[in-house]
């Protein structure tokens, strides 16, 4: 009979980009749901605020653009807390860009953070997860990765790359017992979407986005997307031929 005082291990999650927005909301909701959460971001102060109200959140400052730092962080988590049951590679940045403001450095920056930051996470997680044959990795992409949209040339390209990469890797991860999944949100109210000066249909709050992810966390579907109505529209746009897509986008954006 199991010792009644035996300590029951909480499931362990690692969330990057946890200082604000979806990452912070998801970290707190996971903690409330009984998970032990290792929360990573570049800003320790923001992580400490999360941990102050949720003792089961452990701050771990990290710059995801540094491959060796990411490898070291994953090794540290395994050493101190055990196997990662769910990794949410959520760190990202955004800035709208019109053609008149075309900026090569913005493309480089967003690709480094949004895309290579996830690649670094996959590099560090792949071996330990595949060796034990369990766990899941969630990649935060975006419905902006479905099709090229005005002002999102730099940002959308990184999200399209994430979706494509995840599709390519999913079968092999699955064969190893690891579930690789993509999270495709629509507009979520964050300091980043506050940069937009246009109407954002279907806008939801970070806690609503976190709830949507948490609802599907126990499932194995490849894509988690929300909100339902806006995603439905974006998926229809995804399938339109160019002859219809470009005139429709011009009409919607009045360009």
pLDDT at 14 over 90: yes
148: tokens are 């090229």
State how far the Cα of 204 lies from the Cα of 187, in Å rounded to an integer: 6
Q: Does residue 224 contact residue 213 with C-beta atoms inside 8 Å?
A: yes
Annotated catalytic residue, options 94, 146, 155, 242: 155
84 in a structural domain: yes
231 in a structural domain: yes
pLDDT in tens, 93-112: 999 999 999 999 999 999 99
46 in a structural domain: yes
Instruction: Give residue 251's pLDDT band: very low, low, confident or very high (50, 70, 90).
Output: confident
Would you state the pLDDT for residue 198? 80
Would you state the pLDDT for residue 60? 98
Task: Name the domain count of the chain.
Answer: 1
Tell me how crowded residue 122 is: count the other CB atoms within 10 A of its CB: 19
88: enclosing H helix or E strand: strand 86-89
The rounded mean pLDDT for the chain is 94
Would you state the pLDDT for residue 6? 43
35 in a structural domain: yes
Average pLDDT estimate for 216-242: 95
The closest of 106, 140, 134 to 212, measured between CA atoms, is 140
State how far the Cα of 174 lies from the Cα of 177, in Å rounded to an integer: 5
pLDDT at 138 over 70: yes
153 in a structural domain: yes
83: tokens are 């196997």
Q: Tell me the whole-structure pTM to 2 decimals.
A: 0.93
Give yes or no: 155 in active site.
Answer: yes
> What CA–CA distances, in Å, run from 77 to 37, 73, 194?
10, 6, 33
State how far the Cα of 47 lies from the Cα of 24, in Å rounded to an integer: 8
Instruction: Give residue 255's pLDDT band: very low, low, confident or very high (50, 70, 90).
Output: low
pLDDT at 196 over 90: no
DSSP letters spanning 140-207? E--GGGTS--TTBHHHHHHHHHHHHHHHHHHHHHHHTT-EEEEEEE--B-STTGGG--S--TT-B-HH
pLDDT in tens, 43-97: 999 999 999 999 999 999 999 999 999 999 999 999 999 999 999 999 999 999 9
Whether cis (ω within 30° of 0) applies to the bond prior to 217 is no
Nearest-5° Cα angle at 218, 160 to 187: 40
Q: Between 100 and 2, whose confidence is greater?
A: 100
Give residue 103's domain range: 12-253
195 in a structural domain: yes
216 in a structural domain: yes
Q: What's the CATH code of the domain at 239?
A: 3.40.50.720
pLDDT at 249 over 60: yes
pLDDT at 8 over 80: no
Would you state the pLDDT for residue 2? 42
């Amino acid at each position: 009979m199991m010792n009644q005082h035996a300590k029951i291990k909480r499931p362990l999650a690692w969330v990057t980009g946890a200082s604000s927005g979806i990452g912070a909301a998801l970290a707190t909701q996971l903690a409330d749901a009984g998970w032990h959460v290792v929360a990573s971001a570049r800003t320790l102060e923001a992580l400490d605020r999360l941990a102050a109200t949720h003792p089961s959140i452990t701050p771990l400052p990290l710059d995801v653009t540094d491959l060796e730092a990411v490898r070291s962080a994953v090794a540290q988590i395994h050493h101190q807390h055990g196997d990662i049951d769910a990794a949410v590679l959520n760190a990202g940045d955004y800035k709208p860009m019109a053609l008149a403001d075309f900026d090569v450095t913005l493309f480089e920056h967003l690709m480094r953070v949004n895309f290579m930051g996830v690649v670094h996470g996959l590099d560090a997680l792949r071996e330990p997860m595949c060796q034990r044959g369990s766990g899941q990795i969630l990649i935060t992409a975006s419905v902006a990765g479905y099709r090229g949209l005005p002002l999102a040339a730099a940002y959308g390209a990184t999200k399209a790359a994430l979706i494509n990469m995840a599709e390519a890797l999913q079968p092999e991860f699955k064969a190893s017992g690891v579930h690789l999944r993509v999270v495709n949100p629509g507009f979520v109210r964050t300091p980043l979407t506050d940069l937009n000066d246009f109407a954002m249909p279907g806008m939801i709050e970070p806690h609503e986005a976190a709830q949507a992810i948490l609802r599907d966390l126990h499932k194995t579907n490849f894509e988690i997307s929300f909100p339902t109505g806006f995603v439905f529209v974006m998926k229809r746009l995804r399938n339109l031929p160019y002859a219809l897509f470009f005139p429709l986008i011009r009409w919607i954006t009045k360009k």
